[in-house]
């Protein structure tokens, strides 16, 4: 479970944001990976050099695995679950020429090597994406990705039985299964939904009036399934007022995500654990700035990507996302 949106404001700022919905307890940190950092793919066949400093939210599961991030070039990416549809390349340990990266490494790999969506698409066609079990879920995570850049481009990456698909994302939304093109087709079922208030009408001589404001949004789905979250996020992000002020735009982005955020207890897994929104984050691709809040602390924290010239070639934790909340008296 997760929802992501891509927002282009009228004053030039471009945001990529996501909810992190998960039923396993996470301990996310905000990391900075500086240019020159070298890391080895999980199959231990290749060493990848980080060409661009990036900042991302991840968890150290040996190694640090990133869920989302933005680099110094204004390229951002987020990974979401894609159960029942993700099909990865088979692992070929005899092929030492072709780079194989696991699905959990895709975010770090693209942030390390790509300056734009176009470049990421080119690089992805030269690598093999494989699946390995992760220590958190003890399973191969079925994943797909949304990526965007400061030029305004937004695309979706999916690996299915049809192979690698990299698709333009004109609506700027991604959720979970089914596949992205199914969600785009499904939007046509909601063409009647509008923010404009309905007028009184007559059936024969009987006058019908709306109960109150919001009648135009009747039919907008309210459940937490991926199709409904996709529709709700697409409607909200397409009509919300982002203002002409960067701070107000950030607040508007978080308000959109509140409509798809899941509180504890309303979505339960077969393991009797809550699948809930553990954090919500936005990246300003024009300034490489992060904004986030967590389930237990709704204060929005902003972090500007630091320039670690003296820490060339390192990965540094800026601290945990989860922080205690303090009530003022």
In sequence order, what DSSP letters do the residues of 78-131 get, joined into one string?
EEEE-TTT--PPPP-TT--SS-EEEGGGHHHHHHHH-SSHHHHHHHHTTSEEE-
Joined together, the tokens standing for residue 101 give 């990266």
Q: Is 96:34 a contact under the CB 8 Å cutoff?
A: no
- The Cα–Cα gap between 278 and 169 comes to 25
Active site residue 114: no
Backbone angles phi, psi at 187, to 5 degrees: -60, -25
Q: Which of 2, 114, 154, 253 is catalytic?
A: 2
Stated length of the chain? 329
Distance from C-alpha of 329 to C-alpha of 327, rounded to nearest angstrom:
6
In sequence order, the 6+-apart residues with CB closer than 8 A to the CB of 155 are 117, 120, 121, 146, 147, 148, 166, 167, 168, 169
Which positions are catalytic? Answer: 2
């Amino acid at each position: 479970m997760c929802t992501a949106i891509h927002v282009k404001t009228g004053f030039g700022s471009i945001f990529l944001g996501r909810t992190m919905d998960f039923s396993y307890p996470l301990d996310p940190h905000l990391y900075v990976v500086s240019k020159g950092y070298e890391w080895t793919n999980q199959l231990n066949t290749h060493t990848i050099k980080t060409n661009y400093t990036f900042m991302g939210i991840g968890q150290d599961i040996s190694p640090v695995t990133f869920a989302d991030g933005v680099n110094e070039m204004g390229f951002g990416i987020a990974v979401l679950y894609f159960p029942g549809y993700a099909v990865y390349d088979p692992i070929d340990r005899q092929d030492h020429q072709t780079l194989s990266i696991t699905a959990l490494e895709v975010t770090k790999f693209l942030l390390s090597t790509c300056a734009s969506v176009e470049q990421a698409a080119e690089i992805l066609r030269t690598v093999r994406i494989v699946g390995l079990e992760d220590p958190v879920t003890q399973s191969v995570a079925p994943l797909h990705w949304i990526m965007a850049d400061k030029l305004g481009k937004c695309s979706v990456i999916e690996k299915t039985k049809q192979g690698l698909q990299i698709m333009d994302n004109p609506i700027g939304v991604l959720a979970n299964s089914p596949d992205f093109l199914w969600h785009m087709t499904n939007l046509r079922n909601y063409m009647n939904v509008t923010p404009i208030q309905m007028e009184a009408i007559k059936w024969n001589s009987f006058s019908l009036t709306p109960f109150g404001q919001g009648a135009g949004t009747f039919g907008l789905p309210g459940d937490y399934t991926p199709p409904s979250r996709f529709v709700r996020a697409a409607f909200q992000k397409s009509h919300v007022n982002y203002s002409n002020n960067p701070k107000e735009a950030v607040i508007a982005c978080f308000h959109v995500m509140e409509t798809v955020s899941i509180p504890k207890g309303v979505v339960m897994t077969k393991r009797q654990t809550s699948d809930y929104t553990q954090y919500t984050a936005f990246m300003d691709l024009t300034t490489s700035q992060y904004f986030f809040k967590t389930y237990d602390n709704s204060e929005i924290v902003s972090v500007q990507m630091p320039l670690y010239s003296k820490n060339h070639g390192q990965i540094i934790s800026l601290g945990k996302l989860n922080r205690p909340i303090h009530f003022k008296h």
